[in-house]
Structure 1
Amino acid sequence: MMSDKTANSLKVKAEGRTLVMERLFDAPRDRVFKAFSEAGQLESWWGPKGWQTEVRSFAFKPNGVWHYCMRCTDENQGEYFGQESWGKAVYQDISAPEKIVFIDMFADAEGNAVSGMPETLVKVEFIEGEHRTKLVMRSEFASEEALQQVIDMGIIQGVSSQFERLDNHLKQAY
């Protein structure tokens, strides 16, 4: 079994068509929530290592849209270098600083959903601890097959890398 380099490793489990990922952050809940609710902060950590996120539009409110592009800027990532991955979130429910609910989808540069790619209902909970925050992200897919599709695409590795970036951002941000 491999040892984990980070003290706050990602815990992952699949429950039917839902993927549950949990991680502790050594930062107060308000600060972790703001990292998800402010465009400038999202640009500095969203996406896996070696990718830079650009926010095209951002309206953090129910029925608001966050449209973004992730670009691979790491030449060491081979065929991925220079690639773009567009995404769109449509916020459903926001209860600061406890939870954010949104529909997540692959999109094109104009913000249209990409057909054939799964849409996901994502519920992010921010659970306050003593100087720490437990983040629980539940991603609900239309089917177990759709969940398996994104697991095969590397969602777990991507989120783990992204949360490492968030952890570093939280240490630097304030």
Structure 2
Amino acid sequence: MISRVQAGKELILERVFKAPKDLVFDAFSKADHLRHWWGPRGWDVTVCTVDFRPGGQWHYCMKCVDPNQGDFYGMESWGLAIYHEIEAPTRIVYTDHFSDAQARINETMPSTRITLTFEDVEGGTKIISHATYSSEEALKTVMDMGMLQGVTETWDRLAEHLESQQR
């Protein structure tokens, strides 16, 4: 995965997945896919509802199920994404928020506006993620929480899921 920070408040990630664009797009837009790969290693998606349309929401809960992760074991992390633009199978724009089980946004945590693009490339599909934060401080907050490692592990799990879907 290639990552870089741009203008202090945008994190850009790129990675090629060995799968057709339609399958990769579906993996980001359907609960049946997301619950199998979303989140870092040792975390399972226990709640995943997707209303995939502009104005729709994706509400999810990741739970740490790995006892080797110390204080994180048993912890839940809730999120709420609100979709803004969808151009299947090439682009998804949404804002990702920390939330609670009732889908109430946690205003004390940074939100992220994410633009995902899906491009056909030799050998598969390239995803480019532009994650924009309200400030450099907001980006620093999530980076200090280990977000880059979490995204790397999440995308590794996505690669494994996509491979399993093509057998």
Q: TM over 0.5, yes or no?
A: yes
Aligned to 2:6: 15
Flag as ranges the 4+ runs of structure 1 deviating above 4 A.
none
User: Do structure 1's residue 24 and structure 2's residue 16 form an aligned pair?
Assistant: yes
- Number of residues paired by the alignment? 165
Map 1:122-133 onto structure 2 (within 5 A): 122-133=114-125
1:23-63 CA deviation, whole Å, 9 max, x = no partner? 11011111100100110100000000110013342100000
Work out whether residues 55 and 66 of structure 1, in 8 Å CA contact, stay in contact via their aligned partners in 2: no
Gaps of 5+ in 1: 1-9
Aligned to 2:76: 84
Map 1:20-169 onto structure 2 (within 5 A): 20-169=12-161
Letter of the 2:25 counterpart: F
CA distance in 1, matches of 2:128, 2:89: 13
Q: CA RMSD in A?
A: 0.9
CA distance in 1, matches of 2:162, 2:110: 30
Give the drift of 1:116: 1.1
Q: Cα 1:69–1:23, aligned 2, differ >3 Å: closer, same or farther?
A: same
Gaps of 5+ in 2: none
Bigger Cα displacement from structure 2, 41-50 vs 114-123:
114-123
SS in 2 for 1:30: helix
Q: Cα 1:56–1:36, aligned 2, differ >3 Å: closer, same or farther?
A: closer
CA distance in 1, matches of 2:70, 2:147: 19
What is the TM-score when the length of structure 1 is the normalising length?
A: 0.92
Letter of the 2:80 counterpart: K
CA distance in 1, matches of 2:108, 2:37: 27
% identical aligned pairs = 44
Work out whether residues 29 and 50 of structure 2, in 8 Å CA contact, stay in contact via their aligned partners in 1: no
What is the TM-score when the length of structure 2 is the normalising length?
A: 0.96
CA distance in 2, matches of 1:156, 1:48: 10
